[in-house]
Amino acid sequence: MHTKVTTIGFDADDTLWQNEAFFQLTQDRFAGLLADFADPDHLAERLLAAERRNLGHYGFGVKGFTLSMIETAIEVTEDRVPASVIRQLIDAGQEMLAHPVHLLPHAAQTVAALAQTHTILLITKGDLLDQERKLAQSGLGELFDGVQIVSDKTAAIYHTAFAPHGGAGNAMMVGNSLKSDVIPALEAGAWGIHVPHDLTWDYERAAPPVTHARFRTVPDLAALPALIADLV
């Protein structure tokens, strides 16, 4: 018999609401602005490299993404990028920070249902102000017993998050990112439940830990309650 799951952690971006789609739309806009200086594939590689390089400085989120776009624009144009392009990149970042929250299918119903029977946590990374804004606009805030907005997701972070609620052994982390939501949660001793999303940032890609006894995949959040019931 499996250990009873009493605590469920949910990722936010691209698990409960849309996120990566807005990044990709802005990246397409970025490619158009820099089309005279770099082909789209090369530009995407340079931008991803800048984002990875800058995570330690800016963290995850729109602000770091915007600064990485500006840095990449300066690099690929050899310091000749027009000020008007920089202005448009800043505008694009500000538009992302003001974009309405679009909940994913089944998110509200599933969280509300599980909140009746489990301790529910939101564990997400990114910019503090932006994540707080999105949570407030989502209408889901009152359903969570705790909210943690962290700089990164590691096994230690999950140990700390689940410790006040019975520990990782009785917990489950649900998210779209194998790299951030699933694998470190498994390393912490929790269940790791992957809910795939059509769009995934390259940084978040990882091989599924298919041989791990506590790894599961569900097609969408609607399937989560039944999976949890089967684990008991």
Strand partners, 147: 122
* The pair of three-digit structure tokens given for residue 88, joined into one six-digit string: 């448009």
Written as one letter, the residue type at 86 is I
In which region does residue 61 sit, left (phi positive, over 0), alpha (psi from -120 to 50) or beta (all else)? left
Going by the DSSP 8-state scheme, the letter that residue 17 receives in this structure is B
**58-114 per-position pLDDT tens digit:** 988 899 999 999 999 999 999 999 999 999 999 999 999 999 999 999 999 999 999
pLDDT over 60 (residue 1):
no
**147-196 per-position pLDDT tens digit:** 999 989 999 999 999 999 999 999 999 999 999 999 999 999 999 999 99
Q: Which long-range contacts (CB under 8 A, 24 or more apart) does 212-220 make?
A: 212/186, 214/186, 214/190, 215/182, 215/186, 215/191, 216/191, 216/192, 217/193, 218/193, 218/194, 219/195, 220/105, 220/106, 220/195
Distance of CA 228 to the CA centre of its chain: 22
For the chain, the residue count is 232
Q: Is the pTM of this model over 0.85?
A: yes
94 and 65 in contact (C-beta within 8 Å)? no
Q: Using pLDDT thresholds of 50, 70 and 90, give the confidence band for residue 232.
A: low
